[in-house]
């Protein structure tokens, strides 16, 4: 039996909902990022690099298990042009839970052997088992999340994430303060899984149903399997690599890599992730209207560069003074070079991600598969060699080299729709260059790191805003009006 059909959303409404979705996600994710940044800073003061290294390796192991839990069915539900039926939802949920239950049982049975392989202590083994359990809890959230994403209702979707983040970091900080060590992350993960699942079902009620309809499964898998093939390559490229590095490098080195990557990708997590999350369902709805889809991709590129460029560059200028100001933070100084390199890599990823997203929304997963295959081969060819030559910094060096191939998504998308790339990013890039000049001047005239942080932040931000206002006032004005006057009709 079909669910009630959702009223068709016209293109203008899709654009407005998408913009509001990005604002809702970004504003609320800003809260999440503030929580995460403050909490991570506290944890990196309380805990040593080796503890963080164990956490990153164990997280990568569980992420590796996560690949086998979905086979792309959730993405197929979002990408589907018509409204999913009750049979679609039940089939996806049932297949997913059968796979996850099997994976969880096997993983728990093998956890002792995995712990011995990596020489985890009791805390590391407990963390592995806790993340396996939280992985099962997170799988229960798939269908409610999909339903909210299809409706572009990201305002509700972000609430459970805020609850999860507050729970995780609160528990982790309290336990770290009492010197529980790596087990702090274990208890935090369990409590996060419980509170997040309960919160999502309260906000988006859905009654789980166990049923597999062959016709529904076949249709969903026709998109899901190729899509999941890309996810598998991403898994090999990222998480399996971390698992591999965890065996050949000390946990302290993994901690440095994780620390550098986390801080370098602030712009990606705060800006890109939110825009990508909104644009995939929005692009999917516009896939039959290529002219509007082209315009939507252009707008995504503008806003990604507009917001992510200054954050990334600002962090590059501020990270060293921050380490100098805080005595107990000096232990992370060996990771600064990796931080700079990962930041460059993250900027390149910011520009290619919306194009990959558009290819997936158009159902052109063969193109994304080709790119992921190339990037995976490059990663496994370069990273071990660079690590052998340059130590843990080689991971970030390889990341920059691979990032230089970000032109490939543009090459593929232009075979389908006419994308004009440079003109979308040139103005934010020019404003960022102006910001860099000011930050260099601040560095020259300031004597202390604290002065550099305060004056650089204020003058850099003011310079960027001023230049953007001069160059892009007419382009961003409709979005500002829509933000503060949502009932006004704006052609955005």
273 and 364 part of one domain: yes
122 and 47 part of one domain: yes
What is the domain count for the chain?
2
Centre a 10 Å sphere on the Cβ of residue 276 and count the other Cβ atoms it contains: 20
State pTM to two decimals: 0.69
Distance CA 437, CA 282 (A): 37
214 and 254 part of one domain: no
> Which of 189, 224, 259 is the last residue in one of the domains?
224
271 and 306 part of one domain: yes
286 and 217 part of one domain: no
77 and 43 part of one domain: yes
108 and 149 part of one domain: yes
For residue 442, what are the domain limits?
249-492
Domain membership of residue 231 (yes or no) is: no
321 and 407 part of one domain: yes
CB–CB of 189/131 below 8 Å? yes
Domain membership of residue 230 (yes or no) is: no
Domain membership of residue 5 (yes or no) is: no
Which residues, 6+ apart, have CB-to-CB distance to 461 below 8 Å? 310, 314
Which residues, 6+ apart, have CB-to-CB distance to 328 below 8 Å? 45
Where do runs of H (alpha helix) occur along 80-182? 86-118, 122-139, 142-150, 154-177
DSSP string, 302-316: HHHHHHHHHHHHHHH
197 and 121 part of one domain: yes
Domain membership of residue 21 (yes or no) is: yes
The per-residue pLDDT string of the chain (492 residues; one tens digit each, 9 = 90 and over) reads 444 444 444 555 555 555 555 555 556 666 777 777 788 878 888 888 888 888 878 877 766 665 555 555 666 666 666 677 788 788 878 888 888 888 889 889 998 988 888 888 888 889 889 888 888 888 788 788 877 777 766 667 778 888 888 898 899 999 988 888 888 888 998 998 899 889 888 988 888 878 887 877 777 666 656 665 666 666 667 767 777 888 888 888 988 998 898 888 876 676 766 666 666 666 776 766 777 778 888 888 888 888 889 988 998 988 888 888 877 788 888 999 999 999 999 888 888 888 888 887 777 778 888 888 888 889 999 999 999 999 999 999 999 999 888 888 888 888 888 888 888 889 999 999 999 999 999 988 888 888 888 998 899 999 999 999 899 877 777 666 555 554 444 444
275 and 387 part of one domain: yes
Residues in the chain: 492
The phi, psi pair for 240, rounded to 5°, reads -65, -30
376 and 463 part of one domain: yes
328 and 183 part of one domain: no
Domain membership of residue 244 (yes or no) is: no
Is residue 43 exposed (0-12), middle (13-18) or buried (19+ Cβ within 10 Å)? buried
Positive or negative, the CA dihedral 471, 473, 476, 478 is negative
Domain membership of residue 460 (yes or no) is: yes
Domain membership of residue 232 (yes or no) is: no
Domain membership of residue 377 (yes or no) is: yes
Is residue 489 exposed (0-12), middle (13-18) or buried (19+ Cβ within 10 Å)? exposed
């Amino acid at each position: 039996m079909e669910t009630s059909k959702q009223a068709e959303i016209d293109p203008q409404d899709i654009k407005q909902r998408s913009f509001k979705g990005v604002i809702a996600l970004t504003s609320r994710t800003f809260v999440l990022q503030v929580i995460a940044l403050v909490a991570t800073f506290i944890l990196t003061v309380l805990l040593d690099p080796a503890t963080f290294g164990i956490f990153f390796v164990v997280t990568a192991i569980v992420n590796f298990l996560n690949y086998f839990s979905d086979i792309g069915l959730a993405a197929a539900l979002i990408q589907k042009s018509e409204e999913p039926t009750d049979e679609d939802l039940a089939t996806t949920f049932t297949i997913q839970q059968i796979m996850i239950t099997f994976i969880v049982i096997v993983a728990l049975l093998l956890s002792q052997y995995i712990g011995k392989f990596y020489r985890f202590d009791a805390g590391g083994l407990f963390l592995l088992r806790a993340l396996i359990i939280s992985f099962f809890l997170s799988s229960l959230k798939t269908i409610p999340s999909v339903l909210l994403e299809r409706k572009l209702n990201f305002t509700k979707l972000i609430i459970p994430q805020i609850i999860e983040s507050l729970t995780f970091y609160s528990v982790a900080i309290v336990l770290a303060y009492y010197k529980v060590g790596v087990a702090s992350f274990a208890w935090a993960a369990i409590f996060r899984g419980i509170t997040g699942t309960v919160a999502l079902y309260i906000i988006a009620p859905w009654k789980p149903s166990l049923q597999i309809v062959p016709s529904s499964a076949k249709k969903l898998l026709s998109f899901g399997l190729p899509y999941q093939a890309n996810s598998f390559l991403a898994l090999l490229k990222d998480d399996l690599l971390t698992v591999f590095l965890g065996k050949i490098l000390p946990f302290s080195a993994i901690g440095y890599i994780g620390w550098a990557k986390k801080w370098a990708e602030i712009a990606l997590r705060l800006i890109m992730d939110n825009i990508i999350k909104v644009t995939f369902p929005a692009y999917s709805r516009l896939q039959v209207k290529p002219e509007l889809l082209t315009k939507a991709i252009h707008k995504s590129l503008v806003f990604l560069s507009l917001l992510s460029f200054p954050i990334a560059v600002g962090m590059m200028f501020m990270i060293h003074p921050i380490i100098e100001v805080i005595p107990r933070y000096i232990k992370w100084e060996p990771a600064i070079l990796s931080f700079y390199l990962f930041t460059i890599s993250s900027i390149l990823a910011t520009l290619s991600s919306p194009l990959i997203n558009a290819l997936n929304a158009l159902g052109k997963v063969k193109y994304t598969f080709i790119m992921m295959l190339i990037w995976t081969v490059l990663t496994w060819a370069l990273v071990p060699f660079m690590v052998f030559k340059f130590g843990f910094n080689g991971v970030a060096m390889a990341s920059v080299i691979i990032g230089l191939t970000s032109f490939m998504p543009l090459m593929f998308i232009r075979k389908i729709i006419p994308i004009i790339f440079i003109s979308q990013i040139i103005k934010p890039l020019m404003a960022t260059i102006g910001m860099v000049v000011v930050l260099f001047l601040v560095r020259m005239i300031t004597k202390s790191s604290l002065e550099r942080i305060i004056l650089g932040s204020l003058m850099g931000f003011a310079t960027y805003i001023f230049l953007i206002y001069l160059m892009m006032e007419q382009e961003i004005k409709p979005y500002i009006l829509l933000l503060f006057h949502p009932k006004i009709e704006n052609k955005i």
